[in-house]
């Protein structure tokens, strides 16, 4: 049986003021309520109450993973470089990877995710189709060297994560394993009390045929997603697609040069010609693995470099610099147009469809051209969705204007396919006696992120307000101050504890009732039971932390209510 948590003995220090560096609600409240403390940038220590919340989330995740037949393991966080060299991810991760050498000069890394190691484990342990399917998972600390760790535990350089991996011999088996995880994730987030959305996502460097994110809407979220108010479409902005529709461009006249001095930007060009920016064609130059590539989008839209990078992954995408124009007479800075770009690959957003006419650079200083028609005057090498999605863009499914919202990514599931199995030649002996290449899925839940997401979604102006299954206790008993009240508070706490109720009791001497009440609301346990002015009569006050509803009850009635 768990013991009553007595605040007179608990290591907890609450704060009245927000930390000076805190910008988000979870950061402010988790520190003020004594759940976490900052150790270094992006590195957090979990104090007793915080550790209980973290473990409660872990318990839910573990139960639902076990329920789908997944087997828990624990792999090392310190990993050899060779495993990540085999998939190319040692270089692909770039500065995000923590790298180190041992005393003998061998290269290691701190694991950001464990696809490679799980693949090697299965290759070592499974040799026949009879050994599969199998789902393995772990709940472990991960490491990523974030350039700007922020938002408290929401974006750290060290974080808790559940990662699981499925191994099947057929694509149909992979889909079944994926569906099992999807259903389990829905149950997990429902039990945690997280409002969430399942959205289409891009697989990016992970590869694979399907990918979905689980997002918790919150103003502090770093992800932007779209939601259609008329149908069930929802997607990460990087996964939103726009269908190219060609138009009849035969009515447009021939290309005509325009004298446009000192108009190197879309804004100056549109103002000079008195046309909307949407009539112009913006051509952004980037370098893809060092090669200059032009990206065309309507002048009133911005290129989403993250989206472009996902499309072109694992190639490295970066903006050109002034030095890149040196020796390139075909590239006139500020006046680039797609017509005549023979030495440059041209990528365009689907809105630059065949037959559309544009005002764009004429590849001559202080000169633009009009009536430049896609498909007539220039060819597009690749059509890719690369614009920043905006509110009101048409839903790919039904055409209704999309809504934009911010959210925290709390889970991500991938159908990886055979990318990692190919890297390690993960084969098993099939039913026909021949080797069969295994296909994989990868599934992650941010456990410490879930703490932050819950704090963001459930807190109010008084403090944290945890769902019951996640809270560090079921009831927070407050002794209003006098000896009789403290005696009653401890007695009712023991009765509740004996009945299996998790109890936090504020029995601190020398602390005013006002401070205790403020701390109780800040800490956020679902029920607050106060031994106050009617303690001599054996009467206590029960308060619902979320609704604020209060009720006076006898001790027997309160115990019965809280143990029902």
* pLDDT of res. 208: 57
DSSP state letters, 70-121: -EE----SEEEHHHHHTTTHHHHTGGGSEEEE-TT--EEEE-S--HHHHHHH
Residues linked to residue 283 through DSSP beta bridges, in sequence order: 296
Whether the per-residue pLDDT at 315 is higher than 60: the answer is: yes
Whether the per-residue pLDDT at 134 is higher than 70: the answer is: yes
Average pLDDT over residues 97-110: 96
| Among 21-35, 130-144, 189-203, the least confident range | 189-203
Cis peptide before 110 (omega within 30 of 0): no
- 395 with 230: CB under 8 angstroms? yes
* pLDDT of res. 224: 87
* pLDDT of res. 200: 84
Strands 475-479 and 234-236: unpaired
Q: pTM for the complete prediction?
A: 0.86
Mean pLDDT of the chain: 93
| pLDDT classification of 250: cutoffs 50, 70, 90 | confident
Whether the per-residue pLDDT at 564 is higher than 70: the answer is: yes
- 144 with 113: CB under 8 angstroms? no
* Strand (E) or helix (H) holding 489: helix 483-498
| pLDDT classification of 327: cutoffs 50, 70, 90 | confident
Question: Each residue of 547-559: pLDDT tens digit?
Answer: 999 999 999 999 9
Q: How far apart are CA 403 and CA 389, in angstroms?
A: 10
Centre a 10 Å sphere on the Cβ of residue 123 and count the other Cβ atoms it contains: 17
Residues linked to residue 541 through DSSP beta bridges, in sequence order: 530, 552
Whether the per-residue pLDDT at 71 is higher than 70: the answer is: yes
* pLDDT of res. 1: 63
Percent of the chain with pLDDT over 90: 78
Whether the per-residue pLDDT at 205 is higher than 70: the answer is: no
Whether the per-residue pLDDT at 284 is higher than 60: the answer is: yes
Average pLDDT over residues 440-453: 96
* pLDDT of res. 311: 85
440 versus 146: the higher-pLDDT residue is 440
> Among 522, 523, 528, 485, which Cα is nearest to 507's?
485
Average pLDDT over residues 89-98: 91
* pLDDT of res. 207: 54
Whether the per-residue pLDDT at 23 is higher than 90: the answer is: no
| pLDDT classification of 517: cutoffs 50, 70, 90 | very high
> Among 52, 25, 351, which Cα is nearest to 220's?
25
Tell me the three state secondary structure of residue 383: strand
Percent of the chain with pLDDT over 70: 98
Residue 246's Cβ-count burial label (10 Å; 0-12, 13-18, 19+) is exposed
* pLDDT of res. 50: 97
Q: How far apart are CA 59 and CA 65, in angstroms?
A: 10
DSSP state letters, 310-334: HHHTTS-EEE--GGGGTT-TT--TT
Measured over all CA atoms, what is the biggest interatomic distance in the chain, rounded to whole angstroms? 96
Cα–chain-centroid distance for residue 79? 24
Whether the per-residue pLDDT at 169 is higher than 80: the answer is: yes
| pLDDT classification of 489: cutoffs 50, 70, 90 | very high
Total number of residues shown for the chain:
564
* pLDDT of res. 481: 79
HSE-CB of 397 using CA atoms within 13 angstroms:
14
HSE-CB of 238 using CA atoms within 13 angstroms:
18
- 34 with 14: CB under 8 angstroms? yes
Average pLDDT over residues 394-417: 92
């Amino acid at each position: 049986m768990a013991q009553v948590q007595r605040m007179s003995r608990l290591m907890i220090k609450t704060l009245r003021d927000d930390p000076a560096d805190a910008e988000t609600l979870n950061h402010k409240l988790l520190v003020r309520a004594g759940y976490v403390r900052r150790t270094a940038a992006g590195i957090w220590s979990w104090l007793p109450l915080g550790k209980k919340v973290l473990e409660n989330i872990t318990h839910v995740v573990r139960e639902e993973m076990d329920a789908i037949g997944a087997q828990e393991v624990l792999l090392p966080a310190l990993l050899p470089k060779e495993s990540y060299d085999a998939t190319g991810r040692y270089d692909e991760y770039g500065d995000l990877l923590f790298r180190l050498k041992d005393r003998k000069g061998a290269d290691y890394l701190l694991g950001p995710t464990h696809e490679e190691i799980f693949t090697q484990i299965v290759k070592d342990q499974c040799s026949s189709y009879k050994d599969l399917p199998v789902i393995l998972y772990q709940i472990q600390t991960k490491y990523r060297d974030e350039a700007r760790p922020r938002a408290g535990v929401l974006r750290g350089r060290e974080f808790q994560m559940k990662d699981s991996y499925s191994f099947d011999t057929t694509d149909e088996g992979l889909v079944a394993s994926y569906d099992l995880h999807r259903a389990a994730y829905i149950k997990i987030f429902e039990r945690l009390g997280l409002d969430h959305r399942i959205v289409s996502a891009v697989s990016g460097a992970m590869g694979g045929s399907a990918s979905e994110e689980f997002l918790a809407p919150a103003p502090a979220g770093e992800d932007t997603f779209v939601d259609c108010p008329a149908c069930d479409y929802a997607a990460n902005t990087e996964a939103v697609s726009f269908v190219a529709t060609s138009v009849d461009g035969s009515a447009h006249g021939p290309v005509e040069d325009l004298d446009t001095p000192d108009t190197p930007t879309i804004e100056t060009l549109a103002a000079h010609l008195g046309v909307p920016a949407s009539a112009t064609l913006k051509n952004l130059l980037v370098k893809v693995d060092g090669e200059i590539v032009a990206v065309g989008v309507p002048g009133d839209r911005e290129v989403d470099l993250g989206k472009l990078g996902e499309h072109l992954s694992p190639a490295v995408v970066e903006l050109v610099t002034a030095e890149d124009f040196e020796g390139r007479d075909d590239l006139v800075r500020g006046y680039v147009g797609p017509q005549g770009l023979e030495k440059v690959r041209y990528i365009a957003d689907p809105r630059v469809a065949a037959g559309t006419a544009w005002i764009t650079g004429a590849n001559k200083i202080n000169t633009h051209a009009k009536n430049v028609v896609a498909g007539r005057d220039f060819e597009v090498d690749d059509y890719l969705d690369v614009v920043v999605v905006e509110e009101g863009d048409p839903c790919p499914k039904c055409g209704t204007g999309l809504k934009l919202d911010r959210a925290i990514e709390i889970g991500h599931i991938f159908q990886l396919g055979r990318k990692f199995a190919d890297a390690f030649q993960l084969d098993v002996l099939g039913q026909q006696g021949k080797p069969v290449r295994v296909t994989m899925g990868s599934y992650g839940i941010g456990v410490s992120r879930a703490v932050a997401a819950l704090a963001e979604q459930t807190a109010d102006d008084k403090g944290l307000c945890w769902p019951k299954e996640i809270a560090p206790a079921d009831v927070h008993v407050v002794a209003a101050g006098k000896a009789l009240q403290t005696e009653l508070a401890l007695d009712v706490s023991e009765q509740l504890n004996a009945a299996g109720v998790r109890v936090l009791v504020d029995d601190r001497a020398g602390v005013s009732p006002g401070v205790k009440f403020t701390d109780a609301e800040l800490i956020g346990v679902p029920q607050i039971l106060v031994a106050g002015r009617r303690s001599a009569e054996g009467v206590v006050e029960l308060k619902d932390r979320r609704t604020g509803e209060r009720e006076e009850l006898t001790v027997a009635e309160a115990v019965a209510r809280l143990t029902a």
